[in-house]
Amino acid sequence: MSSSSSYPATLDLEPWPAGSLQFETPLPGSKSLTLRDCAIAALANGTSTVRYPGEADDYWRMKDCLRRLGIAVDDSAEDRVTIHGHGGTFGPGRVELDVGQSAVTARLMLAIAALRPDTTVIDGHISMQKRPNQDLVDALSRLGATLESTNDGYLPTTVSGTRAWRGPARVPGTISSQYLTSLLIVAPLIEGGLTIEVNGDLTSKPYVDLTLDEMAKFGVVVDNRDYRRFVVPPKTYVAGDIAVEGDASAASYFAALATLHGARITLSNLGAATRQGDYGFLALCEKLGARVERRPQSTLIEGPRALAAAFEGPVDMTSMPDVAPTLMMIAPFLAKPTRITGLATLRVKECDRIAAPTRELRKLGMTVEEGPDFMVIEPLTAAAKSRREVVRIETYHDHRIAMSFGVLGSRVPGLRILDPGCVAKTYPNFWKDWQRARNALR
């Protein structure tokens, strides 16, 4: 399994010089789509091929978990993985799974393990052990599975299950859409199907849309009743050949770089047809003066000669929280304070993605107000602009903190990124691509 070991313990960033920049790059395959497609392929009846998967730690963890469950996974060919599903049948005996830092894999494995009559133990990285799963554990327990956690739903969790679940299932909509995604993906295998009810307003609806889209590609259509009730018929997934598009979350970093540097950056494998919610970040760049050309299979972002002074009012990131840290790194360069709202779910990610960037930005002399579900970031001061000493930026084992500060470090001097290799979780080549873009300046 690849890791972050190819990166040094720290990485000093040099701001990008002024100049003309035209740069084209493919993005890593979408993590969200890759993990969903691999899980569904493992539940399908027959052999599926997933093309252009996102090569990253989350994907490697998913493959390892599936193999431990007795699913044949062949990744010997470049840019594809072949998965041999058996309609939801797995290998016998006790199985121990390590999900690393992958929350999507953790939640999917909890639901898949609840189909197995034998014992499955699910554990992960220390940061994953701090992320809540109680509402999903409760939902699976009410359906008929047996789950035991040492700490109220946190990993490690021991699961033994059954295919004879007694529905309906109920999950809250305000904590994580991944709870709903995991239940939706296993639901077709339940005797008689499954109805899932959502309590409260559903957060991150675009991620649920992705789940429903990928299920449909494998032959299962879900009756979505206004995101409050989902009726999933009993049906066997049909094996297929699926291509994964570029990751829209990763696109945010290059869109931000283009916007801040007046550059032309083309993303060659992510286009207008995507259903990834984080593609909406490009509209924020447009509000700051960037020009975005959304082509069928690619996207061009051209930054403005001068940034707009500010957004008109607060920026609500409820539907795309994963790219909120990217927006935090653009905000200091605007002429007026930026209020970012809809951040409640960021408290329970790989780290607290409100507290962590607030702490690191303040190290750089920036003024940041932190609220329970919002941030207000003031414009960069003259003193902060003129600072010359090196500042150590803690990444908290969080790939998105590291990559977002890569955006900031393209304009602010003296950033030393700690644990830069944590980007391996979703984008192992991020720093190499960051440097390739910098080298393209002329």
Catalytically active residues are: 322
**CB 306: neighbour CB atoms within 10 A?**
10
**CB 419: neighbour CB atoms within 10 A?**
21
DSSP single-letter state for residue 122: E
What is the CB-side half-sphere exposure of residue 133 using CA atoms within 13 A? 32
Unique residue bearing structure tokens 């972050």: 4
φ/ψ bin of 54: left (φ > 0), alpha (ψ from -120 to 50), beta (otherwise): beta
Are 30 and 247 contacting, i.e. CB atoms less than 8 angstroms apart?
A: yes
| Dist CA 434 CA 17 (whole Å) | 13
Are 409 and 417 contacting, i.e. CB atoms less than 8 angstroms apart?
A: yes
Task: Pinpoint the alpha helices (H) of 69-131.
Answer: 103-113
Q: Which helix (H) or strand (E) holds 407?
A: helix 399-409
For the beta sheet containing 241-243, the strands, ordered from the edge strand earlier in sequence to the opposite edge, are: 72-74, 80-86, 45-51, 241-243
Which amino acid is residue 400, in one-letter code? R
Burial of 295 (0-12, 13-18, 19+ CB in 10 A): middle
Task: Pinpoint the alpha helices (H) of 95-238.
Answer: 103-113, 134-143, 177-186, 205-217
For 260-270, b/e burial (b = at least 16 CB within 10 A) is: bbbbbbbbebb
Q: Residue 157 is encoded by which pair of tokens?
A: 């969790």
| Dist CA 367 CA 54 (whole Å) | 36
Residues β-bridged to residue 74: 82
Angle between helices 103-113 and 134-143 (to 10 degrees): 10
Q: Which residues contact 47 (CB under 8 A, 6 or more apart)?
A: 82, 83, 84, 85, 239
For 212-230, b/e burial (b = at least 16 CB within 10 A) is: bebbebbbbebeeeeeeeb
